[in-house]
């Protein structure tokens, strides 16, 4: 959205101008599911997000928390509130699950070990992630160092909202040739990931693709990558210590500080081809 601003130049002169800024609005995710033969509707999360791709964000969030395993688990996803009076944006979305999908009501409070700042030791966090994961077949995904180095420029070329505002994170999928396949942007890096993961739910998961992060690689994002089945995560920023531990624990190749001329490999060096 465009707002009026004042620009101050190097000589301290003031200039009335306008600027395009990123829209940030809360999204409430409600879950409808069957418990003891009755339909239950429960609000499970409120996240600050950039409006757009809300349905993908909602189902991607549920997939990342292992509440849904595939498209068959979801009957419908829809906004269920009137547009806001000030911006005309709908900020409540309901996800209706199929009757056979079991839901742990206590777990819906999102008391998962998802961040390195949660105050829980690294071992407990890694153990909590293992509980959510299903066995997956070995991956043959590999990519050359040259193709990896080309990803930052390719991502900038398709970050349409970032080019306008400079205020959004991005998560993208890419193939073994280094081609960007799909990108999602959001003011929250975890929301951008959930939007991308949600967009793949009907097709399966991300087991055949690498994931590119526009910022740092946190434990939470590596957890989401593990649940989504991705064999490689590349971040333009640095990884956290617990993200590296999780990548090594789950056999995920992890690349950090990815630039056009260099990068670091923290895990899975065998996936980086000559």
Question: Which residues are paired to 16 by β-bridges?
Answer: 6
Cβ 8 vs Cβ 78: under 8 Å: no
> Distance of alpha carbon 48 from its chain centroid, rounded?
13
Residue of 251, 213, 214, 248 lying closest to 231 (CA atoms)? 251
- Round to whole Å and give the CA distance between 237 and 5: 30
| Dihedral of alpha carbons 60, 61, 65, 67, sign | negative
> Distance of alpha carbon 127 from its chain centroid, rounded?
21
DSSP state of 66: T
Rg (CA), the chain: 20
Q: Is-catalytic flag, 121?
A: no
Cβ 271 vs Cβ 231: under 8 Å: yes
Q: How far is CA 38 from CA 4, 35, 250, in A?
A: 51, 5, 38
- Round to whole Å and give the CA distance between 151 and 236: 9
- Round to whole Å and give the CA distance between 201 and 261: 34
Element (H, E) at 7: strand 2-8
Among 23, 66, 92, 118, which one carries the catalytic annotation? 118
Q: Tell me which residues are annotated as active site.
A: 118
């Amino acid at each position: 959205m465009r707002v009026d601003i004042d620009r101050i130049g190097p000589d301290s002169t003031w200039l009335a101008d306008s600027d395009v800024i990123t829209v940030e609005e809360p999204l409430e995710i409600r879950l409808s599911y069957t418990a003891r033969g009755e339909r239950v509707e429960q609000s499970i999360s409120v996240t600050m997000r950039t409006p757009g791709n809300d349905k993908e964000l909602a189902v991607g969030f549920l997939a990342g928390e292992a509440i849904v395993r595939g498209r068959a688990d979801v009957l419908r996803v829809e906004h269920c509130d009137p547009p806001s009076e000030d911006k005309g944006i709908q900020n409540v979305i309901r996800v209706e699950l199929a009757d056979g999908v079991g839901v742990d009501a206590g777990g819906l409070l999102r008391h998962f070990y998802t961040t390195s700042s949660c105050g829980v030791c690294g071992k407990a966090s890694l153990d909590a992630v293992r509980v959510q994961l299903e066995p997956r077949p070995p991956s043959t995904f590999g990519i050359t160092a040259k193709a990896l180095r080309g990803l930052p420029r390719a991502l900038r070329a398709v970050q349409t909202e970032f080019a306008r505002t400079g205020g959004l994170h991005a998560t993208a999928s890419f193939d073994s040739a280094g081609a960007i396949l799909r990108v999602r942007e959001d003011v929250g890096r975890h929301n951008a990931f959930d939007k991308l993961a949600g967009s793949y739910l009907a097709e399966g998961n991300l087991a055949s693709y690498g994931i590119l992060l526009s910022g740092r690689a946190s434990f939470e994002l590596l957890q989401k990558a593990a649940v989504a089945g991705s064999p490689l995560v590349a971040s333009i920023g640095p990884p956290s210590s617990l993200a590296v531990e999780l990548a090594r624990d789950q056999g995920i190749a992890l690349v950090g500080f990815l630039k056009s001329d260099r990068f670091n490999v923290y895990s899975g060096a065998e996936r980086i081809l000559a």
